[in-house]
Chains A and B, each alone.
Chain A
Amino acid sequence: EVQLVEAGGGLVQPGGSLRLSCSASGFTFRSHSVYWVRQSPGKGLEYVSGINGRQNVMNYADSVRGRFTISRDNSKNTLFLQMSRLRPEDTAIYYCLKARHSDYESIDYPPFDHWGQGALVTVSS
């Protein structure tokens, strides 16, 4: 059974930093792209970032590029999101997701097939 478990959420002041992690199990982690999507009351569901299994392709939404960094540790089946220069508008539940298809199937933009339970990040003074 696929499981994605986020951790590291919390309250942080504007301008601060926070690192989220997502522990994955139930699939061959190193072979799949994984992603972060966030959900806030004001902006709905918003794609944040993605990274492929080989860690040589990463992408970001314009709203976080230059402030957030995605990474992964395939030896520990863990995805990370390092968030810096946080703003109140970054307040959201952050979800970890996996691609339905292995990277070896050479699908440019595969659909998601599993969501984690989410981690709440609150940026406020």
Chain B
Amino acid sequence: DIQMTQSPSTLSASVGDTITITCRASQSISNCLAWHQQKPGEAPKVLIFQASNLESGVPSRFSGSGYGTEFTLTITSLQPDDFATYYCQQYCSYLRTFGQGTKVEI
């Protein structure tokens, strides 16, 4: 199985900050990487696929980058609606695997 490791597990930030979350794969996954956002009590929502492609309707302050084994999710000018948990996920094999999540808190 491909293991996905995110850091940090928790990130404290303020409105207006720029933050970066890192995701590492245990083996190369090319650009088969997605990011999901989950707010408390809600289902996750897809933000980014193919490492850097924003889903329709996702604000441009979200961006993704990386290739191979190292990926980042960056949120510029953090908004109150962005405080949530973020998960990376690889889809280079049938057994999709997720990172453990990064909680972005105020």
Contact = CB atoms under 8 A, between A and B. Distances in A.
Interface string B44-64: 111001100001000000000
Interface residues of A, number: 21
B98 A44 contact: yes
A45 B44 contact: yes
Nearest to B92: A109
A111 B45 contact: no
A45 B98 CA distance: 6
Contacts of A116: 43
A56 to B, nearest CB: 14
B72 interface: no
A100 B49 contact: yes
Nearest to B33: A111
B100 interface: yes
Given A115-B44, A115-B46, A109 B93 contact: yes
A27 interface: no
Interface string B75-106: 00000000000010101111111101100000
Contacts of B92: 109
Contact of A111 (B49, B93, B95, B97): B49
A46 interface: yes
A68 to B, nearest CB: 14
Nearest to B56: A113
Interface string A102-116: 000000011111111
Contact of A47 (B46, B87, B95): B95
Contacts of A112: 34, 46, 49, 89, 91, 96
Interface of B: 32, 34, 36, 43-46, 49-50, 55, 87, 89, 91-98, 100-101
Nearest 8 interchain pairs by C-beta = A45-B98, A111-B49, A47-B96, A115-B43, A59-B94, A109-B91, A111-B34, A111-B91
13 contacts: A44-B101, A46-B98, A47-B95, A47-B98, A59-B94, A95-B43, A95-B44, A109-B93, A112-B34, A112-B46, A112-B91, A113-B46, A115-B36
